[in-house]
């Protein structure tokens, strides 16, 4: 590890929507931020899992695509010149003898007066179906998320899974693909009733083939080129589905990763916080967004935005002890640096 450490007021762990907005809230109070993310781009779940999906519950935006929301948040944070360290997983956060914290990745260390953990579901990754040799097809013909719907235009695709993601993508990709086959181990889908009704309508019209109750059994082809997906029923029978791509939606593995070892009080894979400040069990370490837990917590982007404001105000006196913080509207003070 490079032991030349840098200094910042606030280290933000996670560049998802909530971590990005925390840069703005801290910036408005004159606090400088360094933002870490394990992924090589900002945006968290919005960028990695559903960039082209419209979000309908962001205040002031009746409809905004997830990727566009991330662009707006980056723009809003930009006047405060945050230091981004993307592609850097924070492995360790330790209290420093003189106060504050040392935040360490495999490559670098940053000293911060306070830490905001905005790490979502932690080091997230898709649940991979247990198919022999699947890794060799990944990225070319096997996918766990859709970053660009157009990439599937004219292709024959198998979608596996029975939840919202599987059903939503089947509906959306039916518009651009040559063929959609939907494999699920039960006849019933666990998605929003409206979406299931639309899926059944498209199946009745022959635009989507429902392959149920079946489960994935094997991949056929010369990796990374896929020729067919073999599926099995529960009586020992198999079917061969000719396809160019497999999209498997079996949910996210929720793994807090290194965060679990930082000595913070946890509640069911989330960091327990005091809701009026979002401070964790360790003075000076805060948690906001999906990773924060308190009674009544709603895992929504807008909730995380409000938590970012609470945390920034609670951090100010830690960075500037004894200095009075006068609450001001943004309309009164403008955006410093703009
Ligand atoms: C398909 C889908 C649709 C959704 N639709 C909506 C919706 O309509 N409205 C809504 O409000 N919400 C929606 N959500 C939920 C919303 O995306 C989340 O609430 C939001 O992304 C949480 O933001 P966050 O910044 O807290 O965490 P995340 O977006 O999860 O970002 C956390 C980031 O932290 C990083 N990280 C984790 N651990 C470390 C570490 N140790 N070091 C460095 N980086 C780390 C991760 O790589 C990740 O980039 C949806 C979610 C999904 C999956």
Residue where the block lists tokens 């067919």 = 228
Q: Is the pLDDT of residue 229 over 80?
A: yes
12 lines ligand 1 (CB under 6 A): no
User: 226 C-alpha to center of ligand 1: Å?
Assistant: 31
| 332 or 199, higher pLDDT | 199
Write the DSSP string, 4-64. --EEEEEEEE--SHHHHHHHHHHHHTT--EEEEESSSSS-HHHHHH-TTSEE--BTTBSSE
Q: What average pLDDT does the structure give for the chain? A: 94
Mean pLDDT calculated for residue range 291-313: 97
17 lines ligand 1 (CB under 6 A): yes
Q: How confident is the model at residue 338 (pLDDT cuts 50, 70, 90)?
A: low
Q: Is the pLDDT of residue 2 over 50?
A: no
Q: Is the pLDDT of residue 253 over 90?
A: no
Q: What are phi and psi of 313, to 5 degrees?
A: -65, -35
**231: its two tokens:** 């599926």
Average the pLDDT over each of 70-79, 199-208, 251-260 and give the range with the smallest value. Answer: 251-260
Residue nearest to atom 30 of ligand 1 (CA): 120
180 beta partners: 157, 208
Mean pLDDT calculated for residue range 42-55: 90
- Measure the CA–CA gap between 36 and 247, rounded to whole angstroms: 29
Q: Is the pLDDT of residue 5 over 60?
A: yes
User: What tens digit of pLDDT does each residue of 19-45 get?
Assistant: 999 999 999 999 999 999 998 889 999
- What pLDDT, on the 0 to 100 scale, is given for residue 291? 97
User: 251 C-alpha to center of ligand 1: Å?
Assistant: 14
Mean pLDDT calculated for residue range 105-109: 92
14 lines ligand 1 (CB under 6 A): yes
126 lines ligand 1 (CB under 6 A): no
Ligand 1, pocket-test mutation among 69, 119, 270, 303, most atoms within 8 A of CB: 119
Widest distance between CA atoms in the chain: 73
Alpha-helical segments (H) within the chain: 17-28, 44-49, 66-77, 164-173, 193-204, 301-319, 330-333
Ligand 1, pocket-test mutation among 23, 44, 58, most atoms within 8 A of CB: 44
Q: How confident is the model at residue 217 (pLDDT cuts 50, 70, 90)?
A: very high
Cα dihedral sign, 43-48-51-55: negative
Residue where the block lists tokens 């695509």 = 65
Mean pLDDT calculated for residue range 272-284: 98
Return contacts of 74-77, CB within 8 angstroms, 24+ apart.
74/20, 74/42, 76/20, 76/21, 76/24, 77/20, 77/21, 77/23, 77/24, 77/27
299 lines ligand 1 (CB under 6 A): yes
Among 226, 240, 271, CA closest to 121: 271
User: 304 C-alpha to center of ligand 1: Å?
Assistant: 10
pTM: 0.81
Q: Is the pLDDT of residue 18 over 60?
A: yes
314 lines ligand 1 (CB under 6 A): no
Average the pLDDT over each of 9-18, 29-38, 120-129, 141-150 and give the range with the smallest value. Answer: 120-129
User: What tens digit of pLDDT does each residue of 164-183 get?
Assistant: 989 999 999 999 999 999 99
Tell me the pairing of strands 208-211 and 179-183: parallel
- Measure the CA–CA gap between 43 and 74, rounded to whole angstroms: 9
Average the pLDDT over each of 108-112, 146-150, 207-211 and give the range with the smallest value. Answer: 146-150
Residue nearest to atom 19 of ligand 1 (CA): 300
């Amino acid at each position: 590890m490079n032991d030349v450490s840098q200094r910042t007021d606030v280290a933000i762990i996670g560049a998802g929507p909530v971590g990005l907005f925390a840069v703005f809230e801290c910036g408005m109070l004159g606090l400088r931020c360094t933002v870490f993310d394990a992924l090589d781009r900002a945006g968290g779940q919005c960028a990695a899992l559903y960039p082209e999906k419209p979000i309908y519950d962001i205040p002031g935006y009746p409809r905004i695509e997830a990727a566009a929301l991330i662009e707006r948040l980056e723009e809003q944070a930009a006047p405060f010149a945050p230091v981004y360290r993307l592609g850097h997983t924070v492995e360790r956060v330790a209290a420093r003898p003189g106060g504050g914290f040392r935040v360490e990745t495999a490559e670098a260390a940053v000293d911060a007066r306070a830490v905001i953990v905005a790490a979502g579901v932690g080091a997230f990754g898709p649940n991979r179906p247990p198919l022999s040799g699947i890794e060799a097809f990944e990225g070319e013909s096997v996918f766990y998320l859709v970053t660009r719907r157009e990439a599937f235009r004219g292709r024959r695709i198998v979608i596996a899974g029975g939840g919202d993601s599987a059903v939503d993508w089947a509906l959306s990709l039916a518009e651009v693909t040559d063929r959609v086959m939907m494999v699920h181990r039960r006849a019933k889908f666990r998605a929003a009733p409206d979406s299931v009704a639309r899926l059944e309508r498209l199946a009745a019209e022959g635009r989507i083939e429902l392959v149920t109750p079946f489960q994935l059994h094997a991949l056929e082809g010369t990796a990374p080129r896929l020729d067919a997906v073999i599926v099995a029923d529960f009586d020992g029978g198999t079917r061969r589905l000719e396809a160019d791509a497999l999209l498997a939606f079996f949910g996210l593995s929720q793994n807090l990763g290194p965060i679990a070892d930082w000595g913070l009080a946890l509640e069911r894979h989330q960091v327990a916080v005091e809701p009026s400040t979002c401070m964790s069990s360790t003075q000076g370490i805060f948690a906001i967004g999906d990773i924060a837990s308190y009674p009544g917590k709603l895992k929504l982007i807008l909730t995380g935005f409000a938590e970012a404001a609470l945390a920034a105000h609670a951090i100010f006196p830690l960075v500037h002890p004894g200095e009075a913080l006068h609450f001001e509207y943004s309309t009164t003070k403008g955006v410093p640096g703009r």
